[in-house]
């Protein structure tokens, strides 16, 4: 009955509106439904990621928390950020490709957590140090977001004002957030 009233309503509107279109075949309705479902999942994912980065920044009391998303084999960019001040924005940053080599990717795939208390004294490659300096980073905490399918991204906390000793609770909060993101349907089902 509902379908019939929709058709009647559409025919009536076509009578008054020459640009109105007739009801679409079910295959087109199905495609539209699929698109809307994907859009809804993306919006849920985006909301979850933004809330997570905001909560972490507040809990850790850092200047910046970002999500570095891998869109293809070890290539990615910052797709979400939570900032203590707009001057710290690195949205869209892709990082130096020569620094993120396969060896690093393999370590993050294995669950590596990297906590750098002071970039000036840490044992890191010069290109990595220069990259962090360019981002105004003094201390860095990186946790992988691992799904059953791949390394989906990196959750990164930056302290920009001074070096910082990362506590076990800081690392635990980041790991918990990364696991929460990885378990979300909208992320887990990607690719």
Write down the domain spans for the chain.
Answer: 50-188
Separation between Cα atoms, residue 180 and residue 52, nearest integer Å: 9
DSSP E strands: which ranges in the chain? 64-72, 75-83, 114-116, 139-146, 151-159
Check residue 189 and give its pLDDT.
Answer: 66
Check residue 105 and give its pLDDT.
Answer: 78
Separation between Cα atoms, residue 109 and residue 103, nearest integer Å: 10
Check residue 118 and give its pLDDT.
Answer: 98
The topology under which CATH files domain 50-188 is Beta-Lactamase (3.30.450)
Q: In the structure encoding, which two tokens stand for residue 120, read together?
A: 């000036």
Say if residue 44 is exposed, middle or buried (CB neighbours under 10 Å; 0-12, 13-18, 19+): middle
Instruction: Please report, for the chain, how many H helices and E strands are present, in that order.
Output: 6, 5
Q: In the structure encoding, which two tokens stand for residue 58, read together?
A: 């507040």
Q: In the structure encoding, which two tokens stand for residue 21, read together?
A: 């279109």
Separation between Cα atoms, residue 158 and residue 150, nearest integer Å: 24
For the chain, the first-to-last Cα distance in angstroms comes to 39
pLDDT values of the chain reduced to their tens digit, one per residue, 191 residues: 444 445 445 444 444 445 556 555 678 888 888 788 778 777 877 888 899 999 999 999 999 999 998 887 777 889 999 999 999 999 999 876 566 666 777 888 889 999 999 999 999 888 889 989 999 999 999 999 998 878 889 999 999 999 999 999 999 999 999 999 999 877 776 65
What pTM does this model have?
0.77
Separation between Cα atoms, residue 187 and residue 109, nearest integer Å: 16
Judge whether 181 and 48 are in contact, CB under 8 Å. yes
Check residue 19 and give its pLDDT.
Answer: 54
Closest CA relative to residue 135, chosen from 157, 155, 164, 150: 157
Check residue 23 and give its pLDDT.
Answer: 55
The DSSP annotation for 56-80 comes to HHHHHT-SEEEEEEEEETTEEEEEE
Check residue 41 and give its pLDDT.
Answer: 77
């Amino acid at each position: 009955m509902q379908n019939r009233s929709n058709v009647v309503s559409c025919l009536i509107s076509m009578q008054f509106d020459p640009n109105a279109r007739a009801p679409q075949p079910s295959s087109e309705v199905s495609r539209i439904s699929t698109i809307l479902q994907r859009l809804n999942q993306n919006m849920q994912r985006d909301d979850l990621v933004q809330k997570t980065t905001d909560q972490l920044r507040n809990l850790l009391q850092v200047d910046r928390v970002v999500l570095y998303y891998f869109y293809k084999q070890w290539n990615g960019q910052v797709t979400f950020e939570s900032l203590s001040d707009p001057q710290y924005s690195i949205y869209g940053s892709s990082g130096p490709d020569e620094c993120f080599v396969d060896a690093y990717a393999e370590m993050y795939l294995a669950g590596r957590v990297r906590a750098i208390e002071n970039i000036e004294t840490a044992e890191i490659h010069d290109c990595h140090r220069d990259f962090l300096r360019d981002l105004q980073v003094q201390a860095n905490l990186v946790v992988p977001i691992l799904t059953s399918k791949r390394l989906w991204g990196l959750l990164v906390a930056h302290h920009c004002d001074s070096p910082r000793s990362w506590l076990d609770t800081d690392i635990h909060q980041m790991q918990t957030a990364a696991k929460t993101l990885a378990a979300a349907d909208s992320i887990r089902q990607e690719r």
